[in-house]
Amino acid sequence: MKKIVRAAQARRINPVRIACINKAETDLGVPLARLTAALQKCYDKYFLPVWGYPVKLYNTRKAKPSDWQFIYFDNADQAGALGYHDLTEKGQPISKIFVKTTLDDNQLVSVTACHELFEMVIDPIANLWAQATNRTEYAYEMCDPVEEDTFKVDGIEMSNFVHPSWFEPFKHPPGTKFDHLGRLKKPFSMTKGGYVIIRRNGRVKEEFGSPAKAKRFAKEDRRGHRSEFRKSRGLHIRLKKGQKPRTA
């Protein structure tokens, strides 16, 4: 896997510098400077103390070779995707945020951006799994289990995210936080709008936080989703609603 070998250079610079580039013509809903500043503030204040990888977001037109990339486009280049992360040809992690696709799906660009930022930093090529039992592993995704829960930073909506404790299958002391907003009470649980990707006996599938979420998810286009791409390449996508699933 050439891409994985190249990824060895990905965290050489500390803090990782993330070039934010707006290639979308569609209005983001908030100026890029404000959005990037809110993402950085959210990251530093809430995500960094818990997950521990410092990053520096900055707005530019062209990324430097050592930069990770965070790019806003109008339309998805993967059917059904609001955003996803992958690696560039040079082996640097890249997140793509699809602005028009996100807005057409009645979702906020800032929430998709926040979701991708958190998940890209921790698991850039979506190859990490946490073992829950002998048979079951959970994908290392920070936002999926709580992906419809948001909170504001400087007036801009951000995505809730799970804590490392969420991936630890033992009994935690009372009061342990499993997600930023404190909605979850145990490892591997979800809020009603959440979902998880699990691998059981080698098979990858999704489970949902509620029947309503399962229904919304069933309408999504599953092409390009981690559970699909996992078989060929590392990629994790925040999906739009309203299309037919491709996998079970």
Contacts of 70 (CB under 8 A, 6+ apart): 18, 19, 20, 21, 57, 94, 95, 97, 113, 116, 117, 120
Chain centroid, CA 61 distance in Å:
23
- Which of 144, 206 has the CB closer to Zn ion? 144
65 vs 75: CA distance, rounded Å: 25
From residue 101 to residue 120, the character string flagging contacts with Zn ion as x (rule: CB under 5 A) and all else as - is ------------------x-
Q: Find the shortest distance in angstroms from Cβ 115 to Zn ion.
A: 6
Nearer to Zn ion, 59 or 71 (CB): 71
Report the residue number, 34 or 151, with the smaller CB distance to Zn ion: 151
- Closest to Zn ion by CB, 113 vs 143, is 143
Number of residues that bind Zn ion (CB under 5 A): 4
Phi-psi region of 109 (alpha: psi -120 to 50; beta: other; left: phi over 0): alpha
Rounded distance between C-alpha atoms, residue 20 and residue 8, angstroms: 22
- According to the binding rule CB under 5 A, does residue 86 interact with Zn ion? no
Residue 187 near residue 168 (C-beta atoms within 8 A): yes
Question: Taking CB under 5 A as the criterion, which residues in 123-152 touch Zn ion?
Answer: 141, 143-144
In the complex, least distance from residue 242 CB atom to Zn ion, rounded to whole angstroms: 18
Question: Cβ of residue 128: shortest distance to Zn ion, in angstroms?
Answer: 13
- What is the bridge-based pairing of β-strands 16-22 and 156-159? unpaired
Q: How far is the CB of 195 from Zn ion (least distance, A)?
A: 9
Q: How far is the CB of 192 from Zn ion (least distance, A)?
A: 17
In this structure, what token pair is assigned to residue 105?
Answer: 């799906």
Give the binding site for Zn ion (CB under 5 A).
119, 141, 143-144
